[in-house]
Amino acid sequence: MKDFTNKTTLITGGASGIGKIMVRLLLEQNSRVIIWDINQEKIDETIKEFLGKGAISGYRIDVSDTTMVKEMAQKVKDENGKVDILINNAGIVVGKYFHEHKTDDIIKTFDVNTLAPMIVTGEFLGDMMKQDSGHICNIASSAGIVSNPKMSVYAASKWAVIGWSDSLRIEMQKLKKKVRVTTIMPYYINTGMFNGVKSKIPILEAENAARAIVKAIKKNKKMITLPRYIYNITRLSQGLLTIGMFDWFTGKVFGIYNTMEHFTGHIKEFYK
C-alpha cells in the first residue's frame, strides 16, 4: 500500500498505545481512519485529539464477541464504504505461569489475540478480494517465535496468529489477488501492556514501533520483527543449536526467560 491518500484504514485497539499512534500517523498521511476499541472514553478522547488532522471515526466493540464483530463490520461498511487497510492490533496478556491460569484467562486470550484477527479479517477480506486490492496487517509478537515462562498462553496465541497470517499471505499470492498481508512480530513495547518487564534487550518505544509498522505496510513487507535482528538471530540459533544450548543462549545470554519475573501489566485495561 504505497499511498495512504483517501484509503480507509480500520485499526482494532486503536484508542491507546501503538494503535493510537498509528491512527495519528495514518491521518497525517491522508488516510481515513476508523477506530475499533473496547473503551468508549478513550475512543472519544482520541477522536477529539485528532479531529483536526483528518477524517476519523470510532466504534466501541469487544472484538472477542463474534456477533458484535459481524454487526459492527456491516455498520462500518454501511457508513464508511469499503475498508482498504485492516490493522489487527488489539491484544491482551495475562502474565502467569500456566498452572496459575484460570480457564477464562486462556479462553479470553485466544478469543482476543487469535480468533478475533481471523474473524475480523473474514468480514473485510471478501471485499478486498473482489476489488483486487487491500492490505491486512496482523500485529503478532516475537513471543510467537521464542517460548518464554509466564507467557505460555500469550505465546501460543501469537504463534497461531503468525501461522495463520503468513498462510493467508501465501493464499493471496496463490490466488493471484493483490491483497497484501504483513505480519509484525514486535519485542516488548513500552505502552503499559508489559509494565514491570525487565530486559537486557532494549524495550521498544511506542512511537518508533508504530512508525516501523506503518512503514512496513507502505512498503508491502511480508514479515518483520521489531527490532529486525531478533528474527535472524532466533531462527539461526534454533536451526544450529541443540534445545539445551538454545535455552542457555536465550535464557542466560539474553535473559529472555527472566523478563516476566516482575510483570504487572495493565490492571484494568487489557487493550493496547
Strand 223-226 and strand 179-186: the pairing is parallel
At a CB cut-off of 8 Å and minimum separation 6, what does 98 contact?
152, 153
154 is catalytic: yes
Q: What is the pLDDT of residue 270?
A: 43
The predicted pLDDT at position 264 comes to 86
pLDDT of residue 143: 92
pLDDT score recorded for residue 46 = 97
* Residues 158, 140 contacting (CB under 8 angstroms): yes
pLDDT digits (tens, 9 = 90+) for 41-87: 999 999 999 999 999 999 999 999 999 999 999 999 999 999 999 99
Identify the pLDDT of residue 267: 43
DSSP 15-68: TSHHHHHHHHHHHHTT-EEEEEES-HHHHHHHHHHHGGGS-EEEEE--TT-HHH
Averaged pLDDT, groups of 10, the chain, 272 residues long: 92 97 98 97 97 95 97 97 97 94 96 98 98 98 93 97 98 98 94 88 94 97 93 89 92 91 64 38
Which of the residues 154, 187, 188, 271 is marked catalytic?
Answer: 154
* pLDDT on residue 261: 85
Q: Which residue has the cell 476489488?
A: 131
> What pLDDT is attached to residue 269?
44
Quick check: helix, strand or coil at residue 117?
Answer: helix
